[in-house]
Amino acid sequence: MFRKKFLYVFVVVSMVLNLVPWNFANMATAPWGTATLIESMAVWKQSNGMVFGVSKYSIYASKYNGTTWSAPTILESDQNGDASSPKVAMDATGNAIAVWYQNDGTRDNIYANKYNGTSWGGAVLLESDNSGAAYNPRVAMDGNGNAFAVWFQSDGTDFNAYANKYNGTSWGGAATIESTAGMVQDPQIAFDGSGNAIAVWFQSDGVNFNTWANKYNGTSWVGAELIEADDSGNVGNPKVAVNSGGNAIAVWTQNDGTRDNIYANKYNGTSWVGATLIETNNDGAASIPEVAIDTNGNAIAVWQQSDGVRTNIWANKYNGTSWVGAALIETDDTASAQAPQIAFDGSGNAIAVWHQSNGVRNNIYANKYNGTSWAGAEVIQETLSENAYTANIDMDSTGNAIAVWEEYDGTTSNIWANTYTGNTPPTLTTLTATPATDGTGEVTISAIADDADNNSLSLSYRYSSGACATYDGSQATTTLASSISASYGSSDVTVDNSESTGYQLTSVTTTPGANTVTTTWNSATDASEADGDTYCLYAYAYDGTVTSTVATTTVTLDNTAPSAPSITGFTIASTTLTPAWSTAVVQ
């Protein structure tokens, strides 16, 4: 069992598939049970006992490979001082980078270690400026193995914001990303899908702290800019999320002279559009905002806010145009709820997690947003008698999620995790293709469509000449007849050979279960030259989020009409007339 104190956890998920909803596991002692999470990585700080008479904290990591969590791996071996504040980012190919700060006996420095998909390398010092201490690094990765680490560091007079880029092979060099006088705190970083990044931080102007941002355009930092101009009071806790299209949302707390409120600003790919107050509850202070954004530009911000008695968890959604309004996403008034985190999938769904007190101890809660509304808060912790906190969450594009947290059992703190099944891929099986023998070229296609989530499905059929090969999207679209039959719901199915929705058949229902769908391929239209030739038929289903495995079958097509013999002449012998026939071509 992991034995640790003051545990910090951050997890990143590359892909999650076919999970049992909220499947509990203690990462320290147990495999993931029936879950089939492809890859995730957790990092934390942990006491390794007494070193030279002093208890030292080191950085550890564990990877989930789809079956079990790996044994904890120590990421640094420097015995001079404590390591703290680890963060990790992971790309889609299974590479990861962890960052932390660590004392060398004189000052705190920034370190990183890369996981190459198989093993961790070695700890690397990301900065060598010995003017002053460096703190609280953050890291982000893009889809090509590039990464950025950001942190704040003293030059002996002020704290400044620094960044260092990893180019897939090595780290460049630490450089400041702002040049304005005044103390910098808490820089954050996020990547888009094209190698661009946005960093945000808060910085003193001598009177107040303000929110700043800088964009990396794939080559260089373009310049720091102020993204709010309210001088009523200090800002704090900036966070930023960027989607693959280069749009970003930044959130932060800002004091109005009486209390802290939550503000946001959107970056539209070119410029920041303006700071917006996204909550108007004046019962008490709001704090610790977090934000996530999906590929379509929707975003959700979450935060904790006092009602004068306790803190509650709130959320607000940005619908691509405007913020729709703050909403309370938990209603347990026994005691305070705190430290929310939020993650999006690829279809507009999101999950928020937080820890919430029952008056005696904290437990971990979650609430799912289904694209329209919040489903309701639920506890996702198995052992409710143990004190839990520091929850984090991440989701994959299909809605599967993993949450991790620290949980104290009365003796030690352990890392626990829970997985959530978002969407099971549909299936398309038993594909058959039967050609007609009447010369019409019609081929009867039948397949069984099903979806464990009971979603309505869309189907498409492709073809290519010759034996079946790996489906790559280049195969031609079949021309289907307008008539469809199904085990049920035939009248709901729409045929669209133009694929205006991206699929030929839509509204194939899967309730109450598997549905056998039969349609007709007019192969004479698509392959009029076929003359006893073999063709491959490809078919797949889509549930609005994920696509099934492509089913294949072969069919022999004969769309060339036979030629009839003709009389080329006659031979007359006595009373017998004998015709001469041309050679018949028999099909």
> Among the three residues 176, 199, 234, which one is the final residue of a domain in this structure?
176
Q: Where are the alpha helices (DSSP H) in 423-540?
A: 523-526
Q: What are phi and psi of 231, to 5 degrees?
A: -100, 20
Flag whether 290 is in a domain: no
Contact 484, 495 (CB under 8 A): yes
Flag whether 97 is in a domain: yes
Q: Is the dihedral of CA 216, 92, 7, 20 positive or negative?
A: positive
Task: Give CA 404 to chain center in angstroms.
Answer: 16
Q: How far is CA 558 from CA 147, 528, 554, 561, in A?
A: 56, 8, 13, 8
In sequence order, what are the beta bridge partners of 558? 531
- The domain total for the chain is 2
* Distance separating alpha carbons of residues 24 and 447, to the nearest angstrom: 37
- Does the global pTM surpass 0.85? no
Flag whether 540 is in a domain: yes
Residue 525 has a CB neighbour count (10 Å cut-off) of: 13
User: What is the structure's pLDDT at 583?
Assistant: 62
> The CATH number of the domain where 511 resides is what?
2.60.40.10
Give the chain's residues under pLDDT 70.
1-39, 49-55, 66-67, 563, 581-587
Flag whether 547 is in a domain: yes
Q: How far is CA 92 from CA 15, 119, 484, in A?
A: 8, 16, 40
Flag whether 404 is in a domain: no
Tokens 């509850």 correspond to: 281
Q: Is the dihedral of CA 524, 526, 531, 534 positive or negative?
A: negative
User: What is the structure's pLDDT at 580?
Assistant: 75
Q: Which domain holds residue 84?
A: 75-176
Flag whether 548 is in a domain: yes
Altogether, the residues listed in the chain come to a count of 587
Flag whether 515 is in a domain: yes
User: What is the structure's pLDDT at 67?
Assistant: 65
Flag whether 144 is in a domain: yes
